[in-house]
Amino acid sequence: MDIINEIKKLKKENEAIILAHYYVNDELQEIADYVGDSFYLSKIAATTNAKQIIFAGVKFMGESAKILNYDKRVFLLDENATCAMAHMATVKRILEMKSKYENLAVVCYINSTMELKKYSDVCVTSANAIKIVSKLPNKNIFFIPDQNLGNYVKEQVKDKNIIVNDGFCPIHHEVKLDSVRKLKKQFPLAIVLAHPECKREILEEADFIGSTSMIIDAVNNYDNDEFIVLTENGVLYELRNKYPNKQFYEVREQMVCVDMKKNTIEKLYDVLVNETNEVKISIEDRNLALKPLEEMLRYAK
Ligand code: CIZ
Ligand code: SF4
C-alpha cells in the first residue's frame, strides 16, 4: 500500500483538511494542506468549510481548533501529544492575581490548556504577543504560562505592569549558552535567529528574535548565507525548502520537542480510516474558552 496516496484519497472522501505545525516531522509538513504557526493555523481552523480538521500538532492546538469552529469534527494524530509548558500555570494563581490587582488582564499564551484559557481575558501567540499586550486597555497584566516570552514582552512594552508566571518550554529553556557561543565561533558570519521562549542570556546572543513564522520571514532580510536557528528543529524543513541556497545550523544538543514528534504519517492514516482521537469539549467549556481566542483574533487584526 502506498500510504501517501491512500491518505490523499481518504482526505478527499472525508472532506478533511490537514493542518501541520512547523515543529512536526517533515513528511507531515509535506502532505499537509496548511503548514504554519499556531496563530496562522488557528485562523484557518476558525474559517474552514471542511467537515473534518486533522491537526498534526499538540493537544492545545486541536482544542483551539475545536473551540474556534465547534461544529467541525477535529482530530489529533496522537492524544498524548501535549505541550509541557501548557500545564505550567494554575487557575488558583490566576484567581489570586485577579483579587490582588485591579484592572488586571490575564494574557494567556496559546500554548496553554483549555482550563487556563477559560480563566483568561485574551490569548496571544509568539507572533502577536507584543502587539496585543500593547493594545490592551489594562495597566496590570498577568502573563501565563511562559516566563521567557513574558519577560521578553515586558521588556518591549514598558508602559504596563506585567507580572510573569514561572512556566517554561523545556526545549527552548534548556539551550546552553556555551553551545550557542561555540556555534557562533565556528560560523562567525552566521546570523542568529532565536525564539522568545529561549532564556534571556540566549536572546542576548541573537540578531533576530521572533516566532517561527517571523524567523522564516526574517531570513529574507539578510544577505548572509548562514544562519543559526534557535527554535525546535522541525522549522528547518521549511527554512531549507524556502531558502535552498542558505545554510542553517542547529545547536549541538538539538532542539527536539518529543510531543511534536509523536505525530507520524502512520497515525495520520489511522485517524483518517478509524476516526480516532476526536477532540471532545463540552459546550460550557467551549463558550468560556472561546472568548480569549476571539479576543486574540480581534486584537491581532
Ligand atoms: O505559536 C506557535 O505556533 C509556536 C508554538 C511557536 C511559534 O513561534 O510559532
Ligand atoms: Fe510546548 Fe515547547 Fe513543545 Fe512548543 S516546543 S509544543 S512550547 S513543549
Among 116, 126, 8, 142, smallest CA distance to 60 is for 116
User: Does ligand 1 come within 6 angstroms of the Cβ of 113?
Assistant: no
- Residues 219 and 254: their CA atoms lie apart, in Å, by 20
Instruction: Give 220-226 contacts, CB < 8 A, sequence gap 24+.
Output: 222/191, 224/189, 224/190, 224/191, 225/189, 226/187, 226/189, 226/190, 226/191
Phi, psi of 154 (to 5 degrees): -60, -40
**Grid cell digits, residue 281:** 469539549
- pTM score, whole prediction: 0.96
Digitized pLDDT (tens) for each residue of the chain, 301 residues in all: 899 999 999 999 999 999 999 999 999 999 999 999 999 999 999 999 999 999 999 999 999 999 999 999 999 999 999 999 999 999 999 999 999 999 999 999 999 999 999 999 999 999 999 999 999 999 999 999 999 999 999 999 999 999 999 999 999 999 999 999 999 999 999 999 999 999 999 999 999 999 999 999 999 999 999 999 999 999 999 999 999 999 999 999 999 999 999 999 999 999 999 999 999 999 999 999 999 999 999 999 9
Q: Which atom belonging to ligand 2 lies closest to the Cα atom of 232? A: 5
Name which residue sits closest to atom 8 of ligand 1, judged by CA. Answer: 211
Residue pair 94/70 in contact (Cβ under 8 Å)? The answer is: no
pLDDT of residue 1: 81
- Counting ligand 2 atoms within 8 A of each CB, the residue from 25, 113, 146, 169 with the most, and so the one to mutate, is 169
User: Does ligand 2 come within 6 angstroms of the Cβ of 85?
Assistant: yes
